Amino acid sequence: MKALFKPAAGPGLDLVDRPEPVTGAGEVKIRVLRTGICGTDLHIESWDHWAAGAIDAPLVPGHEFCGEVVEIGDGVRDVAVGDLVSGEGHVVCGTCRNCRAGRRHLCIRTSSVGVNRDGAFAEYVVIPESNVWVHHTRVDPDLGAIFDPFGNAVHTALSFPLVGEDVLITGAGPIGLMAAAVCRHVGARYVVITDVSPYRLDLARRMGVDLALDVRAESIASAQKQLGMVEGFDVALEMSGHPTALPEVLANLNHGGRIAMLGLPAEPIEIDWAKVVTHMITIKGIYGREMFETWYAMSALLTAGLQIGEVITHRFPATEWADAFAAARSGECGKVVLDWTVF
């Protein structure tokens, strides 16, 4: 099969022929139709400090995908050949305290597809049946390929009640954009998103936010004035990881405000902990998706009419992967999708 492969530690990937993965007991082989490119994939390709410490090459990366089941292993019960599926990228142990308690997203021994084991930047990928999400309602494979980041958006957005609330989202990357669409769909009063990319702010406006704020030119406080708010935002979703974002969020929250944090900070953040205490602020860390409550919510939201397709702005055949990675790295994009049916 064709696969994007990192043969050894160092920058770059190669599109090469690799052996097709073997389907073991309890596993499912999937013919990959589409893959999304994630920030993690960019780190792996460039081989930055994080990748050097987290990745053991050789490796086939890629964890956002949609495909068709072509083979099932012994003991597979609920997945059938021909099913259109996406994959939950966190393979869990099943025996730690959290797994046994039904909190699999908190597994202490998580192994990640495309990071700790071969992934989906290939014509075929094998994952455990327990990680397969069957699309019982047919979806466009492009959309199926971004269920992983869509799940991050849904998990973050639905961490707190939203109906009638004023929501601030810091970071208009693809996950922030999808989260904004979720907040609007489920009944938030105002949805404000911030970024420094004119491209992504324009995309946010097309996806229905009330205000898309370039924080280089306008303050979050000014957004409150424009919307006639008097007590601050009720819910904030921190998607950027930028060190200035969380302090700005705190400065613009109502008493009892709630923050869901998905963005990974690249450096320490100084915040006013006294304000967190005296204003009774809740801060919740988010990593990945709840397995599988978030997946049920994702499918239900789409069935109920949520529209997120506009977040996919670029599509490339897998043979043009280098151009696709360049587009994703440029920031002048939403989600970038690779087509693996073109060989």
Catalytic residues, by residue number, are 40, 43
Give the Å distances, CA to CA, from 206 to 102, 179, 183, 307.
38, 14, 15, 11
State the helix-helix crossing angle for 198-206 and 174-186, rounded to 10 degrees: 20
State the helix-helix crossing angle for 39-46 and 321-330, rounded to 10 degrees: 110
The pair of three-digit structure tokens given for residue 275, joined into one six-digit string: 């304000």
- Provide φ and ψ at 14, rounded to 5°: -130, 135
Q: How far is CA 157 from the centre of its chain?
A: 12
| Half-sphere exposure at residue 173, Cβ-oriented, CA atoms within 13 angstroms | 22
- Please report the DSSP string for 111-143 in residue order: EEBTTTB--SSBSEEEEEGGGEEE-SS---HHH
Q: How far apart are CA 126 and CA 96, in angstroms?
A: 23
Contacts of 11 (CB under 8 A, 6+ apart): 45, 46, 47
Q: Are 37 and 325 spatial neighbours (Cβ–Cβ below 8 Å)?
A: yes
State the helix-helix crossing angle for 293-303 and 174-186, rounded to 10 degrees: 70
The pair of three-digit structure tokens given for residue 9, joined into one six-digit string: 């530690």
The pair of three-digit structure tokens given for residue 322, joined into one six-digit string: 């280098």
